[in-house]
Amino acid sequence: MEQLELLWELQKHEDYLKIIKKKLEDLAKTSYIETMTIRIETLEQGLNDKEKSLERNSELFRKNNLALKDLNYQLSKIEKELYSGVVTDLKQLDYMDKESEVIRDDINKLEIDMLSIMEDMDEIRQEIEKIKIEHDKNKERFKESILEYEKITNELREEARKEMDFIYDISSKIEKDIYEKYSSIKENKGYAIAVIKEDECSGCHVIIPIFLLDKVKAKEEIVQCENCRRILYYSTNP
């Protein structure tokens, strides 16, 4: 019976369409694109933070440099006075000597500070370079992934369209009452046609009586399982 074969084809295409739709849903759910977007944004944020920190350090370095110039100026002024012979008061000379000592200490500390700022800045610059490389790589990968994602999605959509055409075509060839029976079983049981495997209904695993089995094999009419009411189908190629 051609109608039964049509029903069988219909179920196969409906099943396949379901698989394609599931794949499309899963693809949308994996949210790889979302994850990548977040990763790229995080890197950009990190880059931004590092650049700000570099700016802060460079500002600090500039201020320290001014302070250093000022201290050097003070020191040279004191030393000039100290060795000029103008000041003869011993107490005054002693005071100036100590003062120059303090300034020298300050200069020393400041220079050490500035050296450490320079080292920090070097480190930050290297980190920025690393982030930039990682960022570029990610952007490239992301672009490729989006293309790949679009390609797969388009292919699946195209396949789904083809399956829908098949389903429409097959359905239009099925007699109305048979199609209605198929639909109502499908609605109740999830799927309407059960293949017979080792004389069992694969839908409910009940043994099919011989007389029913012969009827199904003859393929002259639509035969339903006495237990689950599914339409029975006997496949010659397992």
* Site residues, Zn ion (CB under 5 A): 201, 203-204, 225, 227-228
Long-range contacts, 172-178 (Cβ 8 Å, 24+): 173/6, 174/3, 174/6, 174/7, 174/10, 175/3, 178/3, 178/7, 178/222
Query: In this complex, which beta carbon is closest to Zn ion, that of residue 138 or of residue 227?
Result: 227
Residue 185: CB minimum distance to Zn ion, A: 10
In the chain, what is the straight-line distance between the N-terminal and C-terminal CA atoms, in Å? 19
Residue 4: CB minimum distance to Zn ion, A: 16
Residue 229: CB minimum distance to Zn ion, A: 7
CA angle 181, 183, 187 (to 5 degrees): 120
Query: In this complex, which beta carbon is closest to Zn ion, that of residue 171 or of residue 227?
Result: 227
Residue 217: CB minimum distance to Zn ion, A: 16
Residue 33: CB minimum distance to Zn ion, A: 44
Backbone phi and psi for residue 124, each to the nearest 5 degrees, phi listed first: -60, -40
Query: In this complex, which beta carbon is closest to Zn ion, that of residue 20 or of residue 216?
Result: 216
Query: In this complex, which beta carbon is closest to Zn ion, that of residue 179 or of residue 203?
Result: 203
Query: In this complex, which beta carbon is closest to Zn ion, that of residue 164 or of residue 204?
Result: 204
**Beta strand pairing call for 200-201 and 193-197:** antiparallel
Backbone phi and psi for residue 196, each to the nearest 5 degrees, phi listed first: -90, 125
